[in-house]
């Protein structure tokens, strides 16, 4: 369900920031494992669970939007399109994950290379993974926040 007040929305945003930090820490932990591909597999697993979870918190998951009346669905999809939101209101698919991974591409490559630098490499790789996950997750959370805020403001003006 879409938050009804700005206070409720701000509370959800704060909760999502905490979730984002946890997801970024998990990503960083995966980046410290020296086996090839573990870092990417970890990130994909995190994103498959995390992005829909944020969308649900804001009432913008595909399942939630499907339950709204047609007029409200159109309004939401127009706002999602206007904001350029790529992930809200959609199922997490391979195509979406590819878009996410492209956004993280340079950081992933740098993190993989850094992992093999003696001593400091794993720490550098973990830092890069943490930062990349934080950027992607916060970006999605901010997109959802903007859409939900606009819906709240539209309801106030009615």
Instruction: Please tell me which residue, 128 or 157, carries the higher pLDDT value.
Output: 128
User: Total domain count for the chain?
Assistant: 1
Alpha carbons 24 and 134: distance in angstroms, whole number: 5
How far is it, in rounded angstroms, from Cα 59 to Cα 78?
15
At which residue do the structure tokens 């990503």 appear?
27
- Phi-psi group of 37: left, alpha or beta (phi > 0 → left; psi -120 to 50 → alpha; rest → beta): left
Can you give the pLDDT at residue 26? Answer: 92
Which residue range(s) make up the domain with 100?
6-157
Q: Average pLDDT in the 124-133 region?
A: 82
Give the pLDDT mean for 12-37: 88
The reported pLDDT for the residue numbered 96 is: 61
Work out the mean pLDDT of the chain and round it to a whole number. Answer: 79
Q: Is the pLDDT of residue 20 over 90?
A: yes
Q: Please state the pTM of the whole predicted model.
A: 0.77
Is 1 within a domain?
A: no
CB 74 within 8 A of CB 66: no
Residue 121 domain-assigned (yes or no): yes
Instruction: Show the 3-state SS of 100-140.
Output: HHHHHHHHHHHHHHHHCCCCCHHHHHHHHHHHHHHHHHHHH
87-124 confidence digits (pLDDT tens) = 665 545 556 666 666 666 655 555 555 555 656 667 77
Average pLDDT over residues 64-72: 84
Regarding predicted confidence, which is higher, 91 or 36? 36
Structure tokens, 137: 């997750």
């Amino acid at each position: 369900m879409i938050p009804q007040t700005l206070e409720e929305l701000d509370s959800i945003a704060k909760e999502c920031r905490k979730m984002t930090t946890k997801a970024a820490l998990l990503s960083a932990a995966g980046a410290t494992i020296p086996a090839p591909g573990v870092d990417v597999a970890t990130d994909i697993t995190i994103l498959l669970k995390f992005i829909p979870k944020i969308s649900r918190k804001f009432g913008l998951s595909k399942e939630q939007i499907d339950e709204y009346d047609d007029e409200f669905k159109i309004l939401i999809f127009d706002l999602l399109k206007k904001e350029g939101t790529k992930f809200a209101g959609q199922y997490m698919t391979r195509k979406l994950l590819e878009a996410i991974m492209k956004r993280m591409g340079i950081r992933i490559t740098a993190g993989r290379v850094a992992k093999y630098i003696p001593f400091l490499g794993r720490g550098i790789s973990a830092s890069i993974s943490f930062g990349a996950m934080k950027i992607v997750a916060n970006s999605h959370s901010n997109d959802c926040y903007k859409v939900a805020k606009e819906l709240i403001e539209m309801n106030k003006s009615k």
